[in-house]
A and B are shown apart, each in its own frame.
Chain A
């Protein structure tokens, strides 16, 4: 009897503290339109808006945290924050280390951007961000891969001639190409890569994952996710 009371009391404490918990959302803040830092210094972008809506639906208090892309997974598993929303594609390698919700962005198309047509994409030098699916793809394509810590540097490498082309998400490259005044252009064919973009969580955090999964499902069902996708990535991207 005594132990029963203790257990109940302990459960009540655990439940109480779980309720007060703030979910810390980790992101990179350097990958528009997925996530970036806006003029007032806050995290902004598709994932900010989506994440806030998901938290509202799952009735969680959420807070955004910036972290370098390189160490974004190690800091998740050592519990410095609870989720990753950073345009991270769902891949088998990552799935072994962390867990993913269902995708909130369909499998992405990646594209090459170069300074001129006729660049040798299979034998030339191609830049990509470290530890991305694009870097993995370039390494296997036969081209020489040069890796950079941030997306910005991958583009700069093409501009200054260090690389012949850059390989990245189409949605990231599009605004850069449009505003480059003809300097940058898409070359070659788009390549569909990865299993869509999802939210990363610790493998032991199944309860939190189920909550976010349910919230994503509900957003897919009522069409609000499609509306968000159309707003941030252009008409016709939302296909759920």
Chain B
């Protein structure tokens, strides 16, 4: 035994004597994880969060979240002598005087965008593959919580520097708060410590941005990962993979190296972006003042859909019993997002209600094999995309020399028309893909080889696909829609008939499938 082994052994023994960790460690170092590129999306979100913590901590050493008025005398000549808040001045100092400061600011901002983007794409992966099904409904809700908080955290973050662009964002957030019926005015005065903009808001959101929300994030991410660990990861269908096993590689050494390495790759790519790609050049905007605005004011992309909805809202502001109800703000700013996020959080339960399926699922769906769900997902994405495009309607109008009014009308109509259209098209596409799978299993792969028959007819030679591929294309379950009794055995109609009729219609729509080929079909073809 070498000296090094002896020392390591002694340390391990010392720790195990006091914690009994060896048994647990042995088991978990051998933990098996399935391999697929799409499982790295959540990893990117996790690593971006760590990068955000590291780069954010660096920034707090120099950032001064104070609205104290100072006259700038720093290195950036165009703003010398300009009155501004200490917050903005310190953001300029970080950018121009602290070595590595601008790099860290840009890494922080880029990783925030990557964090949000990877959360959204990860969520899409989980949704379209049905990974949210039992037993993972709770983790789905945690994920929706993280997405929602991420949007808030990102908004607060880019609001801190108190430049003209971010101040405009706060102005809009203030208007949304103030539009809340009954308590809005009081709430706005409470949060802002008086009138807009005041001097209290930025120091307050600083506390929220660097302490409260990161703390909540840490707690939620920990639970999210512990559940993944404990429930074991889902896996894609394939030969040898069942609901009862996990096929993959063990944590030690494969995933230690791969996941650890991947952290450095994500960090490296983010640092590269921070080095070469300018983001939020806040020295160009100047300090915030409520009397000015930059043309083409845009929020970061994950807020863009919200801004797009606000832009397309109709000018509705009824006065009811002498009180003003700002529907033009409330509908796009609070009601629609509220419906979207609640609907997302509840989706696993809605689908369970429709299918009546209470079993555990660990094998992922191929999106085409769940046409209704896939179509719903694409429908929601289309809605978001129209909203997001309208959030940049001024930039689109400028770039493509279009009329902003026409883009707005396109969005106003499109937001109602395009999502249902997307639903129909996607569902048809999924069913067509199922049909193509069926053809492939029954008739084999087209080889591109043409043969002339004695009769003079040309036919293409088909080759049977491998047993592995045939299994992949047919392993999924195809269940008949949930049977619901409309009347009990004495012929009396059940209560809640409308609800059960609705459920039945959903169940039928959800179960629409192209029948998958069976051995019987294969044999029948062989007989011909």
Q: Do A and B bind each other?
A: no
Give the interface of A toward B (CB within 8 A): none
